[in-house]
Amino acid sequence: MDYINNYTGNILVVDLESGKCDQEELENELIDGYLGGAAINLELYKKYRAKDPLIIGTGLLTSTFVPSSCAAVITGKSPITGKVANAPLTWQTGIELKLTGFDFVVILGKSAKPVKLWIHDGLADIEGSDEWGKDVWDTVDALRHNYGDDMVEAIVIGPAGENGSPLAQVSENYWGSKDKFGFGKVMGEKKLKAVALRGLSAFEVADGFFDECTTLSREIANGVIKGKQGAGEIGKSLKINEGVLSVIQEMTHRDNACFNCPYPCLTFLKYRESAKEMKSTDVKEPGCLITDLSGLAAFGFLGKDAPQALEQCFHLGLEPTASAMMVEKAGKKDVAGAKEELEKLTKAQTGLKEAGLPHFNGVSPWPITPSLDTALVQALGIFSNAIPPQVVVGSPKDFSIGDSAQAKAAFWAKRQAMAYILGICPIFILTAPEMTEEKLAALIKLTMNWEDFSAEKLSGIVSRYLSEILGMQEGAGEIHPSLKLDGVEAGLKEVREALK
């Protein structure tokens, strides 16, 4: 391996049908041509397409000193859209994966009986899963107890995934995820209850890289996001329901940041004890972490009980936005009724499209007033709709984006592709105009020791990726009539063409 920086150089290939784990080398040509994350995932997807692969990959910069380099990406065929799609994994999941000693994990076929995958310290084991039948929280607790380590990061499914509901999502530890594409159902069909990660690997780092990264981190912290934090600020940018904004304000305990991120957007809400309580008390489960603001906002009709419904989705492994829409349609107006309905939804075999509810390609929309640019973004169907469909905290002006809806949507898609390929948080990249393509390219050049790398090259790789994945989306673009704003279909065509 020439590339000792940034990657461990290993791809784990797990065949659930044969029960075997193999290790492949992450070839230099793959890194040169595609960098990492969603782009290498797509190459691996094509290679293993016949075996229904689900791929979890880290980015070129995941787990480095680059600000917000927390992300990994799940890539697979979405059972909702029928197309290849990506869901980001954030917080500590991405870094833990890379630290296990594997940069990419390819999960093939189906197991005959429930299993879990334990990846740690350069080793991988397929083990029987006693956790099958447990909810997400009990599963995470059981895994950590079993492996004797509170810092195990887990990608798990709950009852919804086990039952093959299209409303299922994968969960990162206790708190759901940004999976809007039904990868929870895919894991359920594979009889894969959990992927548990723990690693203490080390990667080499180029001289001067640490200083360059901390300089950028400072610049970002003192830039557009200065003095701002939490999910509430993002909610204000998106103009979500005022009631939900008040709930966030009243119940905020502490904000969490994902690995190495200058903007803490993961707000923890406490409602079973005072939000001001900073001690570790006897209340074992005082609240929940907002990892999906759209999910919380969609439960806005429950008022101050919205976070409890979100928590219930986390327990059951349900995609919260779609579930909230189903619960509201069922006429449930209080938390008890909502919980009862959510329990039923874990067995649902139909999703938003079949229920006649608003959707983009079957995927839940942001519960915000529709606008053309945000509709175009959500209709693309490649990246997660849990990510804000526009620039947040700051304004489009900070990023010098053109005024047209098409320009905003094309900017969003390109920015997302860059985040998903490099392993930067896709929310953070929409808050930090200071993180320019030029600066990212300069950091890549430095850390990879690629003398001829440039912003143009980075942009070229991102564009080629978008072009390829958009080519695989032909026939997608189904938009519920309520979301069909004037010009959305023509606009979508234009954006697709512009990105190709």
Contact residues toward another protein (CB under 8 A) are: 63-65, 67, 92, 99, 137, 148-151, 173-174, 200-205, 210, 214, 217-218, 220-221, 229, 253-262, 264, 268, 270, 278-281, 283-287, 289
Nearer to another protein, 256 or 364 (CB): 256
∠ CA 397-258-268, rounded to 5°: 95
Instruction: Report d(CA 133, CA 103) in Å as an integer.
Output: 30
CB nearer to another protein: pick between 55 and 251? 251
Shortest spacing between CB 187 and another protein, in angstroms: 21
Residue owning tokens 């349609």: 329
The alpha carbon of residue 420 and the mean position of all alpha carbons in its chain are separated, in whole angstroms, by 9
CB of 229 to another protein, least distance (A): 7
| Rounded Cα gap, residues 78 and 444, in angstroms | 31
Q: How far is the CB of 98 from another protein (least distance, A)?
A: 9
Q: For residues 409 and 435, which CB has a smaller minimum distance to another protein in the complex?
A: 435
> Do residues 292 and 321 make contact, with C-beta atoms less than 8 angstroms apart?
yes
Tokens of 333: 């107006």
> What is the spatial distance between Cα 221 and Cα 213, in angstroms, rounded to a whole number?
12
Indicate the residue among 152 and 167 with the shorter CB distance to another protein. Answer: 152
Specify whether the CB–CB gap between 26 and 10 falls below 8 A: yes
Q: By C-beta, is 229 or 454 nearer to another protein?
A: 229
Q: In whole angstroms, how close is the CB of 214 to another protein at the nearest point?
A: 5
Choice between 375 and 429, CB closer to another protein: 429
Closest separation in Å from C-beta 266 to another protein: 8
What is the rounded CA–CA span in Å between residue 191 and residue 208?
Answer: 46
**Bridge partners, residue 168, by sequence:** 318
Q: How far is the CB of 452 from another protein (least distance, A)?
A: 24
In the complex, least distance from residue 210 CB atom to another protein, rounded to whole angstroms: 6
Nearer to another protein, 68 or 385 (CB): 68
CB of 22 to another protein, least distance (A): 25
Q: What is the C-alpha separation between 87 and 404, in angstroms, rounded?
A: 27
Contacts of 244 (CB under 8 A, 6+ apart): 235, 296, 297, 299, 300, 306
Rounded-to-integer distance, Cα 337 and Cα 335, Å: 5
**Residue in 325, 381, 369, 387 with CA at minimum distance from that of residue 350:** 325
Kindly state the smallest distance separating residue 259's Cβ from another protein, in Å.
6
* Least distance CB 374 / another protein (angstroms): 28
Q: How far is the CB of 90 from another protein (least distance, A)?
A: 12
Side-chain-side CA neighbours of 28 within 13 Å: the count stands at 7
- The tokens for 453 are 């790398």
Q: In angstroms, rounded to a whole number, what is the distance separating the alpha carbons of residues 79 and 181? A: 7
Pick 175 or 465: Cβ nearer another protein: 175
Smaller CB separation from another protein, 292 or 341: 292
| 294/235 Cα distance (integer angstroms) | 9
- Between 260 and 406, whose beta carbon lies closer to another protein? 260
Residue in the structure block whose two tokens are 């209709």? 379
| Beta strand pairing call for 104-108 and 54-58 | antiparallel
Nearer to another protein, 50 or 278 (CB): 278
Amino acid letter, 278? M
Strand ranges (E), 39-129:
54-58, 72-77, 84-89, 104-108, 115-120, 123-128
Q: Distance between CA atoms of 441 and 418, rounded to whole angstroms?
A: 11
